[in-house]
Amino acid sequence: MKHDTHTVKQAINGNTEAFEALLYASEEKLYYTALSYMKNKEDALDAIQEATCKAYLSLKQLKKPEFFSTWLFRILICECYRLLKHKQRVLPYEESELIKRLPHKQTEKNDTVDISGALSQLNYFYQTAIILYYYHDLSIKQIAEVMDKPVGTIKTYLYRGKKQLKQELERREGLYERYV
């Protein structure tokens, strides 16, 4: 999501109405991003509140207004990870949305393969890259900016993550077929 750089510059110069306008323009995407990590509404709202506060306090440090959105989402994702680490939970996400976006096999009874369980078995970096790419429709370049990694590394994370996810789903499908 691109923001008007004029509004961002106003916010950097201390205009609170401009900062609020930027947040309102991003509110839905912020909420669903936080919800995909935190899994429940209350924790997602806590993460958004903390991230918004941190963003407001450090807004003057933003050097390139055109990267406001990436900068804000990076703060939010870091805050989500901080809260998750604090609670020592596994990285959650909305399984139903991932099921719609990821190609998956179906069993003969039209039961979908358990993507959430398979995805939770992946490396932390692979999980994050896959969630940001498929669930949040971020480009590889945007994911690289959010995760503070080179573009080539993100491509590797996506490639290896999809490969491991496929293997895990096939393993789970094999186990399911043995017990049916």
Torsion 100-44-146-161 (CA) sign: negative
- 81 with 124, same domain? no
CATH of the domain at 168: 1.10.10.10
- 107 with 78, same domain? no
Note the pLDDT tens digit of each residue in 78-101. 898 888 877 754 444 555 555 556
- 66 with 116, same domain? no
Task: Provide the terminal-to-terminal Cα distance of the chain, rounded to the nearest Å.
Answer: 46
Q: Which residues sit opposite 112 in a β-bridge?
A: 106
Q: What is the pLDDT of residue 150?
A: 94
CATH of the domain at 31: 1.10.1740.10
Looking at 43, 72, 92, the residue that finishes a domain is 92
For the entire predicted model, the pTM comes to 0.56
Range of the domain at 161: 95-180
Query: For the chain, how many structural domains are there in total?
Result: 2
Lowest mean per-residue pLDDT among 47-51, 139-143, 151-155: 139-143
- Cα 146 to Cα 158: distance, rounded to the nearest angstrom: 15
Q: How confident is the model at residue 108 (pLDDT cuts 50, 70, 90)?
A: very low
Lowest mean per-residue pLDDT among 73-87, 104-118, 163-177: 104-118
How many other CB atoms are found less than 10 A from the CB of residue 52? 20
- 114 with 152, same domain? yes
- 68 with 138, same domain? no
Q: What is the pLDDT of residue 138?
A: 84
Note the pLDDT tens digit of each residue in 50-75. 999 999 999 988 888 888 988 998 89
Q: Are 68 and 74 in contact (CB under 8 A)?
A: no
* Distances 139 to 72, 92, 136, 151, 162 between C-alpha atoms, Å: 16, 21, 9, 10, 16
- 1 with 80, same domain? yes
- 122 with 166, same domain? yes
